[in-house]
Amino acid sequence: MKRNLLSMSLMLASLFGAAQPLLAQEPVQVRAISASTSIPDPAAQIRAAADLLRNNDLMGLLRTMVPPSQLQLLRQGYEEGRSQPITDEDRAEFEEAIAKFTAPDAVERLMQEIEPKLVEARPQAPGAIMMGLGALQMALSSPDAELTEEQRAALRQAMPGLQRWLTSTDFLSSLSMRQALTLVTDAIRGTGLDSIDELRMLSLEEALAQAGSVLASAKQAVRIYGLDLDAIADTLAVEVLAIDGDTARVRTTITVFDAPISREVELVLVEGRWYGKEAVQHFDIKIDHHSDS
């Protein structure tokens, strides 16, 4: 589970994390293309998305992640959901779920549920961590592992720091868990939402603004366990490798545990903006065919 959490964190940081350092210089041919046409700069778009996530602006991030026409479809779907009748069963289920985080004694009740699991897991934790690290070492040396040579090199460089983090962080600390739950429950209480009726009254912008405040607290909660997603994201660098009409290829790099983790991403120009090639396949839109005329 810890490895999955780490992988998800690194992916999020690499795709959407905030970029404070200067970006790598674009190749000469890319600069020439950008100067002679109206093609937008994909690196600038990634930086903008990164800054939005850094500021927990989920509505702004959504606008950068999907084309305007797709966003309109999402908005329509959201509004249709808001218009659906609410049953007494819906109300009861929502109130029961939200009360777990908003009740005055929410943290105490959650700790009563979690504490026995923490106690049970503690004796097994050191062995599980060693097994996990051993599995990573095996993956590094195995030709059957689905890793590129670049990924192997990055993982080798990150292994010492990763091992220090896993072996020095008490993931099963009751105090840390209580602190994390306090942050999250306070954030959920701060939304002021106690019923599904109140939730349905929120526009899409308002709902995502509330979710953004919870995200900010979730980042703080993860920081308790020694993983600062914003700090990792601050190391983001973007290099535009190629632009060819309505397609582009970029490389994003972040530094995690003193190791550069890079990922190449294929982009497609849609409605005047760049989007991931894989994501575009799920959009109900027509792809631009940009010309230099």
Q: What is the pLDDT of residues 176-222, one digit of tens each?
A: 999 999 999 999 999 999 999 999 999 999 999 999 999 999 999 99
Q: What is the pLDDT of residues 9-22, one digit of tens each?
A: 433 334 333 333 33
What residues are paired with 121 via a beta bridge? none
The yes-or-no verdict on residue 157 having pLDDT over 60 is yes
Phi/psi of residue 214, each to 5°? -70, -40
The CA dihedral of 91, 97, 103, 106, to the nearest 10 degrees, is 170
The pLDDT score that the predictor gives to residue 15 is 38
| Number of other CB atoms surrounding residue 124 within 10 Å | 11
The pLDDT score that the predictor gives to residue 10 is 39
For residues 243 and 39, is the Cβ–Cβ distance under 8 A?
yes
* Identity of the amino acid at 9: S
Mean pLDDT score, 91-97:
95
The percent of residues above 70 in pLDDT, for the chain, comes to 84
The pLDDT score that the predictor gives to residue 145 is 81
The pLDDT score that the predictor gives to residue 286 is 52
How far apart, in whole angstroms, are the C-alpha atoms of residue 29 and residue 33?
A: 6
| Tokens matching residue 292 | 């230099």
Mean pLDDT score, 118-131:
95
The yes-or-no verdict on residue 146 having pLDDT over 90 is no
Distances from the Cα of 23 to the Cαs of 53, 73, 141, 190, in angstroms? 18, 34, 33, 37
Distances from the Cα of 63 to the Cαs of 11, 74, 112, 210, 269, in angstroms? 20, 11, 41, 17, 15
The yes-or-no verdict on residue 246 having pLDDT over 60 is yes
Q: In this structure, are strands 259-270 and 237-244 parallel, antiparallel, or unpaired?
A: unpaired
Question: Tokens 């009748």 belong to which residue?
Answer: 85
The pLDDT score that the predictor gives to residue 284 is 67
- Concatenating the DSSP letter of every residue in 100-156 gives HHHSTTHHHHHHHHHHHHHHHHGGGHHHHHHHHHHHHHHHHH-TTS---HHHHHHHH
How far apart, in whole angstroms, are the C-alpha atoms of residue 39 and residue 26?
A: 14
Lowest-confidence region among 32-41, 48-57, 84-93, 158-167? 32-41
Report the chain's mean pLDDT, rounded to a whole number.
84
Q: Given pLDDT bands bounded at 50, 70 and 90, which one contains residue 4?
A: very low
The yes-or-no verdict on residue 63 having pLDDT over 80 is yes
Lowest-confidence region among 52-66, 150-164, 219-233? 150-164
Mean pLDDT score, 109-129:
96
Mean pLDDT score, 87-116:
96
How far apart, in whole angstroms, are the C-alpha atoms of residue 129 and residue 163?
A: 9
Question: Tokens 């105490």 belong to which residue?
Answer: 108
